[in-house]
Amino acid sequence: MRFFKNWQFSLAFVLFLTGIMLMLALHAIHGEADSPTQQKNKRLITMIQQQEEELEQLKKNINEKRESLNKYQKNLSEGKLETEKLQYELDKLLVLSGLYPVQGEGITVHLDDNTKGKELALQKNPEQTRIEDFLIHDKHLLYIVYELRAAGAEAISINNQRIINSTDIRCVGTTIQVNAERLAPPFIIKAIGDPDNLTRVLETERSQYNILKMAGFPVSIEKHSNLVIESYKGSYQFTQAQPKEE
């Protein structure tokens, strides 16, 4: 009986050890089987984390680019407005300097030599007749130009020669030189401005136009609702005047 009990105890102990070893073996096998999966999961988690970090960086870059684009568009808009303003000022200066053709309301003044008066004077008293008294001279054109400017003319031309600040009007033989161009009568003076005001000034008693008219010269004034005056075609020459150094 005692031997039988020892044998049962030994068998139970062996079975216990066998169970423990089996559990350890199964646990080892299970650990080895799950190891690749765990490693794969770890790699996936790492990749996801990297993708999230890259996504955050991309969002940051996009926001920076968007801010730069908005700033650029703002500067571009401001620069466009500044460019348009500068272009407007430039166009205005070109108009004032006579380098642009212009159009608007105005008048034309027609002047010609007093041929009929000269012929009558030669018939009546040829010895005392002065031919130059019946011709349009440079001073006549100059006075009329001054009077038109005083009346508010914004642009003036003589026989399509634009009058600017440096325009020289002077007699050269039997012709009149305007902007280095020799002109002969008849003369057509164009002026853009208020037609009524320009006409009123020229028709005053002591104006040059009225003096010529009273002397029998064939002169006339015509009003226009739309008059075109061409740009200045000459050159600017400065020998003494130089830009002031800053």
What pLDDT, on a 0 to 100 scale, did the predictor assign at position 47? 66
Does residue 83 fall inside a structural domain? no
Instruction: Specify the pTM.
Output: 0.64
pLDDT at 3 over 50: no
Q: Looking at residues 188-206, what average pLDDT do you find?
A: 95
Percent of the chain, pLDDT > 70?
A: 70
**What is the number of structural domains in the chain?**
1
Does residue 70 fall inside a structural domain? no
Does residue 97 fall inside a structural domain? no
Q: Looking at residues 127-139, what average pLDDT do you find?
A: 91
Q: Looking at residues 76-96, what average pLDDT do you find?
A: 71
Kindly list the distances between the CA atom of residue 46 and the CA atoms of 60, 92, 230, in Å, as whole numbers in the listed order. Answer: 21, 68, 78
User: Strand 187-192 to strand 175-178: parallel, antiparallel, or no bridges (unpaired)?
Assistant: unpaired
What pLDDT, on a 0 to 100 scale, did the predictor assign at position 72? 74
Does residue 215 fall inside a structural domain? yes
Number of Cβ within 10 Å of residue 96's Cβ equals 14
What pLDDT, on a 0 to 100 scale, did the predictor assign at position 98? 75
Three-state SS string over the chain comes to CHHHHHHHHHHHHHHHHHHHHHHHHHHHHHHHHHHHHHHHHHHHHHHHHHHHHHHHHHHHHHHHHHHHHHHHHHHHHHHHHHHHHHHHHHHHHHHHHCCCCEEEEEEEEEECCCHHHHHHHHHHCCCCCCHHHHCCCHHHHHHHHHHHHHCCCCEEEECCEECCCCCCEEEECCEEEECCEEECCCEEEEEECCHHHHHHHHCCCCCHHHHHHHCCCCCEEEEEEEEEECCCCCCCCCCCCCCCCC
Q: What is the CATH number of the domain that holds 129?
A: 3.30.70.1880
What domain range includes position 195?
Answer: 102-229
What pLDDT, on a 0 to 100 scale, did the predictor assign at position 146? 94
> What is the pLDDT confidence band of residue 4, given thresholds at 50, 70 and 90?
very low
Does residue 23 fall inside a structural domain? no
First to last CA, the chain: 130
For tokens 């002065």, the residue is 130
> What is the pLDDT confidence band of residue 107, given thresholds at 50, 70 and 90?
very high
Which of the residue ranges 44-58, 143-157, 164-178 has the most confident prediction, judged by mean pLDDT?
A: 143-157
d(CA 80, CA 90): 15
Residues 6+ apart with CB under 8 A from 188: 108, 109, 110, 111, 158, 159
pLDDT at 212 over 90: yes
> What is the pLDDT confidence band of residue 57, given thresholds at 50, 70 and 90?
confident
Comparing 181 with 14, which gets the higher pLDDT?
181
Does residue 79 fall inside a structural domain? no
> What is the pLDDT confidence band of residue 238, given thresholds at 50, 70 and 90?
low
What pLDDT, on a 0 to 100 scale, did the predictor assign at position 5? 46
Does residue 109 fall inside a structural domain? yes
Does residue 46 fall inside a structural domain? no
Q: Looking at residues 3-22, what average pLDDT do you find?
A: 57
What pLDDT, on a 0 to 100 scale, did the predictor assign at position 74? 75
pLDDT at 53 over 80: no
Comparing 174 with 236, which gets the higher pLDDT?
174
d(CA 169, CA 30): 114
Residues 6+ apart with CB under 8 A from 225: 105
Q: Looking at residues 126-139, what average pLDDT do you find?
A: 91
